[in-house]
Chain A
């Protein structure tokens, strides 16, 4: 589909598209499904079950997020491999996904869980998750350099963008590992932040 828009071969746009689509799989599960799951849990009294077990709120959020994120591993690899093949990109460094999935996953899952837990109504949780998903789709898959500046700022706010960038950088013949690490670092930091937010939201909702 994107082949019409982006030239095949080794160029930044192709890197961005492949990397964006792979991370999108994570975004779909982490944002959309998790927001729905926690929205439902909160509004149907399901949180009570976990709240009456001796586990800290953070581990409920983390455990659920990890379980959901692990479902995405095969999907992400298949998407990345298919994309690399379509655009003739090297597949030798796809292992970076093993770092990208948990870090981007944590950041997005925390956001998804927080949206689900904070939404005053169950339908709003679903809607918020879908909006987040659409944002990840638009801002993640389109090459950043081609977006208007205000939209680029928006892109910088989305935690998954750093995962996309880190992954995209590894397609270069000589990847700038320092930048990859920096992007992953930002992703991890945002992940920590968003999981903290989700934990706070969980405590608030379980009251």
Chain B
């Protein structure tokens, strides 16, 4: 049936243009992607890059202008309605379940996915326990905080087993405990059932720890696709030096003045990407004399996925630290 037996989701030449009023936005401009079975695959990219547009086409919600989408051997462009049987989707915003309690939202979703009442109940209880939602189980979603609501929607997405989960920024607004619950739930499903997960994220730190592979999307195109390690190799041999000044930077010190143009500045923080040798010299220069007096804090670190992302030319503003 499917050309590549190991493939879960294969996208090629995907184009989607929005026409609103007189303007046209080419949100997806020829996207190719191959997600393997059992993989946790991430889409990373700045605001407006076209990530949600891409996943909404995979879920059959949007019709592409051109290109093909294959989900587990099914042609989703021709049969968009089949997507609903193959995947569980958590949209970037979800208000559909607002009127229901957390438990009822999960149970109803399970029933609509074809579970019997008893199965839906059992799975709901399990998922609610797994995600630590017990204290909120009988409260309506509309009355929960943003992060709690997000977690409740995630719970609903998990009820009624699906071979593929498509999650659009699942952990937005969540505290560290909730985030960890999400990632361990995702991991457990992959380990126990071989579930494939395709997710959109802005959080590069999280992406680095959970994802098997990442596609960096920018301007409607995939500009890189590799493992987090592979992407980091792009900036191999470099380190990142962060300097945080107490007040204004001491530009009267020549070594500091020389950095002024090269550093990327965020408030009192200066960030430099450089070779280990130069970094060592710079650290020596700023940890003595007047520069040291003005220094609040400094860190020297090996490159992260974020550095790789910036190196790729992704826009800086779009990523959370």
Chain A residues within 8 Å of B, Cβ to Cβ: 37, 40-41, 44-55, 206-207
**Contacting pair B89 A48 (CB below 8 A):** yes
A-B contact pairs, 24 of them (CB 8 A): A40-B95, A41-B95, A44-B95, A45-B92, A45-B93, A45-B94, A46-B94, A46-B96, A48-B59, A48-B91, A48-B94, A48-B96, A49-B91, A49-B94, A50-B112, A52-B83, A52-B89, A52-B91, A53-B84, A53-B109, A53-B112, A53-B113, A54-B85, A206-B61
Q: Which of B257-288 contact A (CB under 8 A)?
A: none
Which of A40, A50, A53 has most B Cβ within 10 Å? A53
Contacts of B109 in A (CB 8 A): 49, 53
Q: Does the CB pair A51–B95 fall under 8 Å?
A: no
A-B contact count (CB 8 A): 57
Known: A52-B60, A52-B87, A53-B112. 12 other contacts (CB 8 A): A37-B99, A44-B95, A45-B93, A45-B94, A45-B95, A47-B96, A48-B91, A49-B94, A51-B84, A52-B61, A52-B83, A53-B84
Interface centre among B63, B88, B95, B114 (most CB of A within 10 A): B95
Residue of B nearest to A37 (CB): B99
Residues of chain B having any CB pair with chain A under 8 Å: 56, 59-61, 63, 81, 83-85, 87-89, 91-99, 109, 112-114
A47: which B residues are within 8 A, CB to CB?
96
Are A54 and B95 in contact, CB atoms less than 8 angstroms apart?
no
A45 to B90, CA, bound (A): 12
A41 to B99, CA, bound (A): 11
| Closest A residue to B81 using CB positions | A54
- Determine whether the beta carbon of B96 is less than 8 Å from that of A49: yes
Do A54 and B96 form a contact, CB below 8 Å, given A48-B61, A207-B63?
Answer: no
B112 touches A46 (CB 8 A): no
Kindly state the separation between the CA atoms of A207 and B88 in the bound complex, as whole angstroms: 18
Give, as a whole number of angstroms, the nearest-CB distance from B164 to chain A.
11
Across-interface contacts of B59 in A (CB, < 8 A) = 48, 52
User: How far does the alpha carbon of A41 sit from the alpha carbon of B87 in the complex, in Å?
Assistant: 21
> For the complex, what is the distance from the CA of A89 to the CA of B94, rounded to whole Å?
49
